[in-house]
Structure 1
Amino acid sequence: MQRITTKRIFFVTGERGCGKSTFLAALMQKYALQPSGFITKREAPPESAVYMHQVVAGTARYRYTTGNKVGICPQQKPVGFAPIFDIFGVMCLKQAEESVLASLNSGCSGMGRTETAPQQVSFPVILMDELGFMEAEAEHFFRTVCALFSNPRYYIIGAVKPRGTRFLPVLEQMPEAAVFHLTLQNRDELYAQLERAQNFPAFLHTVGERQ
């Protein structure tokens, strides 16, 4: 008999502009998720810099300093700043982990509840939006991400670039992870799955079945 693995990680991947972060926002809104973790934003020219912003309980804390500037995107080739990932990025993830553990230990997690409207029950989730190639040499950051992936207590959502990153192969080999390769052609399909699933675990199960 084939063993069924419960999904607890969801990542969306795809080309730039396909709507990865937009879908994550819809996912969080649908199930009232208030994750902690980080988001990265690329600023428009002439700066063309990439900043990592901490997210705490669903609220992004936008900062624009050298301490959270994780890379630049000149016309020639994007350049990532590994030390910033290893310091600021790891700090964001450690604080997200502390927030999740505090919620779990206080019994605030909505997992396993059976209220009439389960989609309105919030529970702690870690957000990573997004993982890519700029952090290729950030070993501490990579190990921290992988440690969170491997902890069975954590539910994680995020976006990951489709190529040039060490994270996507790790995710694709994890039975607990559901990875959806988003395109303009199949985007409606993913939103339909989101609409049908009554709660976050049900969504994970549905997406995982279609892998």
Structure 2
Amino acid sequence: MKSDLIARLLEATERSVHGFITRRLDADETGFHPIYIHPAGCAVLKHSPDNLIGTCDSKVHHVNTRVFEELGVRYLDVPSQGIVVMDELGFMEAGAKAFISRVFTLLEGDIPVIASTKARTDIPFLCEVRSHPNCRVYTVTPENLEELYVKLLPIVRSR
């Protein structure tokens, strides 16, 4: 639902789109869901070991921190204009120090950032993102989806 809202907002902007999206695929034969990172605004989502950030089931997860530190940081290396997407920030990047540093550098900057986060309160990184002074936090529900779209649309359209 959060990703759908972000996708709709990006369709309505003429700004250049930077950042990343993550996508979790269906579970493989071992019961683990592979999760991949892609450049934001990318029309074709490719899946390879190079952009596999990790796998998880309901209790166990395996993280490829190197992908966050290399590819994730590269996706967050943006010019001084446009809009930055971080969909989604979660627990897997907790050990990726360069990636986390880049997230906060962007939050301190002047480029608008649209980020979605896991709703977990036990991950310090996510709590710091949500409590950052430049952040406004919205909880997306089926009931307020359209209202949030209308409220956030001027932000992605303004220059």
Fold shared per TM-score above 0.5: yes
> Cα–Cα, structure 1 residues 23 and 33, in superposed 2: closer, same or farther, change >3 Å?
farther
Would you say 1:38 and 2:17 are equivalent positions?
no
Are 2:42 and 1:63 aligned? no
The structure, 1 or 2, with the larger RCO (C-alpha pairs under 8 Å, 6+ apart) is 1
- Evaluate the alpha carbon distance shift between residue 193 and residue 81 of structure 1 in structure 2; reply closer, same or farther with a 3 A threshold: same
1:91-115 deviations in Å (ceiling 9; x for gaps) = 1112xx1xx33xx4xxxxxxxxxxx
Alpha-carbon distance change, 87 to 61 in structure 1, aligned in 2, over 3 angstroms = farther
Q: Secondary structure at the match of 1:83?
A: helix
The answer to whether residue 144 in structure 2 is matched with residue 162 in structure 1 is: no
**1:201/1:93 CA distance change after superposition, 3 Å:** closer
Task: Give the corresponding residue for 1:118.
Answer: none
In 2 relative to 1, CA 78–128 (structure 1 residues): closer, same or farther, beyond 3 Å? same
| 1:60 to 1:167, Cα distance in 2 relative to 1, 3 A | farther
1:201 and 1:22 mapped to 2: Cα distance?
Answer: 15
The runs of at least 4 consecutive aligned structure 1 residues that moved more than 4 Å come to none
Q: Does residue 79 of structure 1 match 2:37?
A: no
Equivalent-residue separation in structure 2 for 1:92 and 1:30 (angstroms) = 21
Identical positions, percent: 30
Paired residue for 2:8? 26
Q: Structure 1: 5+ residue runs without aligned partners?
A: 1-18, 105-123, 204-211
Give 1 or 2 for the bigger CA radius of gyration: 1
Q: Normalising to structure 2: TM-score of the pair? A: 0.82
Question: Runs of 5+ in structure 2 lacking a partner?
Answer: none
3-state SS of 2:137 partner: strand
Give the whole-Å Cα distance in 1 for the aligned partners of 2:15 and 2:149. Answer: 17
Alignment RMSD (CA, Å): 2.4
Aligned residue-pair number: 154
8 Å CA contact 1:70, 1:85 repeated in 2 = yes
Partner amino acid for 1:89? G
